[in-house]
């Protein structure tokens, strides 16, 4: 049995929607993009939604809208996909990492408040604190209310990286529209996919117009042909991707429910394994939007050998995530070292992402869990995972 790490959930409805666009004369900035934007705005309760070419592009534009400039500071998480920090560097600012909650792996609100108090309220030699960028990692909402309160005390913008969390709810409120702006992403392994693509949501009318200009080479709605008010970017979302997004958005509750079913299968089977710690859902989380299914191996130093053992059994697995501050580029540029953010580093050393997608079958989950149990049993006997012998 071949089991992919992830797979998009595409039906005839999505294929037909894309075919209709191909039969039309409009492939960019057309009715499908407008329909997709309306669907996402309604879903999250935002006044405005702006389709862009990727989640990374959306985060970049949010840094511009928030007024983040060279040498400014933006508080964010070291435990995330690297784009959540890279977007800060795009505007020549600096990420101010704070450690995560050891259980939910989202930004620790107390550490955020301490960082705001330490760096806010005064001009610093290397710029000033401008924004907070919480990451709803793996579809788990951050504990947003205390983060929003800390940011409000210093007049900081709050940009939600909700790229992995469409459909998630924090205390009954959809993520994405809790701060000044939020960004979703629709890569093929996401809950909702457009192939490539992203969406910014905001309740700030001035930001809506700014985002629409920035994504389209700096043109404002009142600009003439080839007239550009500001420096902009080619961050548009095309009509083919938007049509796919409209169809997927109409199925979002179904897609999330199917992922929840796969999670239940995993929890039932892996709860019996002593060496495996299952994901923790925060007390503030009304609904998880499961992006990946990531467990933690309790014994240190075991993960890489377990990954190799799973691969020999035809089961892919990945480390999720190597902490951003220990990526070679960030270490070289900012001087970060092991021990700077111990909770993020422990998660980075122990976390193991297993195959996960909405169309995953129960027998595939059985195969993954059986292979993981075998690999851990070998480790219990030998202290490491032994190579699997070929069948006679």
- Active-site residue 254, yes or no? no
pLDDT band at 388 (very low <50, low <70, confident <90, very high): very low
305 and 239 together in one domain: no
123-132, 181-190, 244-253, 378-387: least confidently modelled range: 378-387
Rounded to whole angstroms, how far apart are CA atoms 163 and 22? 28
Backbone angles phi, psi at 108, to 5 degrees: -80, 115
pLDDT at 17: 97
Calculate mean pLDDT across residues 106-133.
88
In this prediction, residue 391 has a pLDDT band, given cuts at 50, 70 and 90, of very low
pLDDT score of 383: 59
Q: Each residue of 310-357: pLDDT tens digit?
A: 999 999 999 999 999 999 999 999 999 999 999 999 999 999 999 999
pLDDT tens-place string over residues 152-178: 999 999 999 999 999 999 999 999 999
Please state the φ and ψ torsions of residue 84, each to the nearest 5 degrees: -65, -25
Percent of the chain beyond pLDDT 90? 89
Q: Do 173 and 291 reside in the same domain of the chain?
A: no
Co-location of 286 and 144 in the same domain:
no
Same domain membership, residue 97 and residue 31 = yes
pLDDT bin (cut points 50, 70, 90) of residue 382 is low
3-state class (DSSP) for residue 280: coil
pLDDT class for 228, splitting at 50, 70, 90?
Answer: confident
Spell out the alpha helix ranges (H) of 23-126: 31-44, 55-65, 83-90, 109-119
CB 229 within 8 A of CB 218: yes
Does residue 274 share a domain with residue 366?
yes
Query: Which of 217, 249, 281 is the last residue before a domain boundary?
Result: 249
The answer as to whether 256 is a domain residue is: yes
Cα separation, 365 vs 20, whole angstroms: 36
Q: Are residues 239 and 282 in the same domain?
A: no
> What pLDDT is attached to residue 389?
40
Residue 302: CATH number of its domain? 3.90.1150.10
Domain total in the chain: 2
- Which pLDDT value is given to residue 380? 67
Q: Residue 309 falls within a domain, yes or no?
A: yes
Q: DSSP class of residue 138?
A: G
User: In this structure, are 27 and 89 located in the same domain?
Assistant: yes
Q: What residue numbers bound the domain in which 306 lies?
A: 252-382
Average the pLDDT over 349-368 and give the result: 98
Specify if 391 maps to a domain: no
For the cut 60, the answer to whether the pLDDT of residue 386 exceeds it is no
pLDDT at 227: 82
pLDDT number for residue 123? 56
Going by C-beta distance under 8 Å and a sequence separation of 6 or more, which residues neighbour residue 40? 46, 49, 166, 184, 199, 201, 245, 249
Sheet of strand 285-287, all strands in order from the earlier edge strand to the far edge: 173-174, 169-170, 285-287
Are 353 and 238 part of one and the same domain? no
Query: Quick one: average pLDDT of 191-219?
Result: 96
Q: Do the strands 129-133 and 94-97 form a parallel or antiparallel pair, or are they unpaired?
A: unpaired
Q: How large is the average pLDDT for residues 374-390?
A: 65
**φ, ψ dihedrals at 71, nearest 5°:** 75, 0
User: Does residue 276 sit within a domain?
Assistant: yes
Predicted local distance difference test score (pLDDT) of residue 196: 97
| Least confident interval from 77-81, 128-132, 223-227 | 223-227
For 185, 192, 384, the CA distances from 233, given in Å and listed in that order, are 18, 25, 50
Q: Is residue 231 part of a domain?
A: yes
Domain final residue, candidates 220, 249, 278:
249
Is residue 65 domain-shared with residue 178, that is, in the same domain?
yes
pLDDT band at 120 (very low <50, low <70, confident <90, very high): confident
**What is the structure's pLDDT at 300?**
84
Whole-number pLDDT of residue 125: 52
Helix (H) or strand (E) holding 184: strand 181-185
Residue 389 inside a domain? The answer is no
66-114: per-residue pLDDT in tens? 999 999 999 999 999 999 999 999 999 999 999 999 999 999 999 999 9
What is the value of pTM for the model shown? 0.94
Q: How far apart are CA 77 and CA 132, in angstroms?
A: 10
Question: Do 97 and 200 lie in a common domain?
Answer: yes
Rounded distance between C-alpha atoms, residue 198 and residue 57, angstroms: 8
Residue 224: the pLDDT is 66
For residue 35, being part of any structural domain is answered with yes
Q: Which of 186, 218, 249 corresponds to the end of one domain?
A: 249
In-domain check, residue 298: yes
pLDDT at 390 over 50: no
State whether 42 and 167 are in the same domain.
yes
Active-site pick, 43, 94, 190, 287: 190
- Alpha-carbon Rg for the chain, nearest whole angstrom, is 22
Average pLDDT over residues 219-238: 85
Mean pLDDT of the chain: 94
Size of the chain, expressed as the number of residues it contains: 392
Residues 120 and 22 in one domain: yes
């Amino acid at each position: 049995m071949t089991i992919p790490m992830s797979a998009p959930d595409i039906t005839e409805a999505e294929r037909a929607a894309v075919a209709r666009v191909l039969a039309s004369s409009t492939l960019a900035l057309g009715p499908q993009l407008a329909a997709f934007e309306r669907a996402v705005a309604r879903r999250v309760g935002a006044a405005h939604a702006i389709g862009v070419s990727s989640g990374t592009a959306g985060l970049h534009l949010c840094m511009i809208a928030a007024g983040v400039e060279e040498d400014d500071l933006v508080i964010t998480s070291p435990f995330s996909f690297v784009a959540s920090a890279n977007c800060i560097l795009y505007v020549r600012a600096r990420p101010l990492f704070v450690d995560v909650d050891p259980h939910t792996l989202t930004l620790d609100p107390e550490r955020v408040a301490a960082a705001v108090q330490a760096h806010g309220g005064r001009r610093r030699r290397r710029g000033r604190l401008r924004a907070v960028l919480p990451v709803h990692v793996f579809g788990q909402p951050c504990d947003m209310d205390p983060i929003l309160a800390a940011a409000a005390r210093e007049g900081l913008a709050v940009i939600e990286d909700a790229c992995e969390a469409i459909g998630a709810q924090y205390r009954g409120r959809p993520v994405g529209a809790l701060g000044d702006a939020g960004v979703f992403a629709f890569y093929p392994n996401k809950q909702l996919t457009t192939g490539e693509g992203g969406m910014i949501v905001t309740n700030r009318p001035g930001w809506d117009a700014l985002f629409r200009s920035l994504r389209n080479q700096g043109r404002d709605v009142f600009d003439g042909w080839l007239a550009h008010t500001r420096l902009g970017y080619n961050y548009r979302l095309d009509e083919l991707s938007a049509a796919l997004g409209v169809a997927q958005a109409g199925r979002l509750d179904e897609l999330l429910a199917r992922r929840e079913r796969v999670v239940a299968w995993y929890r039932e089977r892996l709860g019996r394994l002593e060496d495996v710690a299952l994901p923790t859902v925060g007390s503030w989380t009304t609904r998880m939007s499961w992006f990946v299914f990531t467990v933690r191996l309790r014994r240190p130093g075991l993960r890489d050998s377990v990954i190799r053992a799973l691969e020999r059994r035809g089961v892919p697995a990945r480390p999720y995530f190597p902490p951003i501050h220990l990526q070679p580029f960030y270490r070289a540029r900012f001087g970060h070292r092991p021990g700077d953010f111990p909770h993020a580093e422990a998660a980075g050393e122990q976390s193991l992402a297993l195959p996960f997608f909405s169309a995953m079958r129960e027998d595939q989950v059985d195969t993954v869990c059986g292979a993981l149990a075998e690999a851990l049993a070998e480790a219990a006997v030998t202290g490491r995972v032994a190579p699997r012998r070929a069948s006679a």
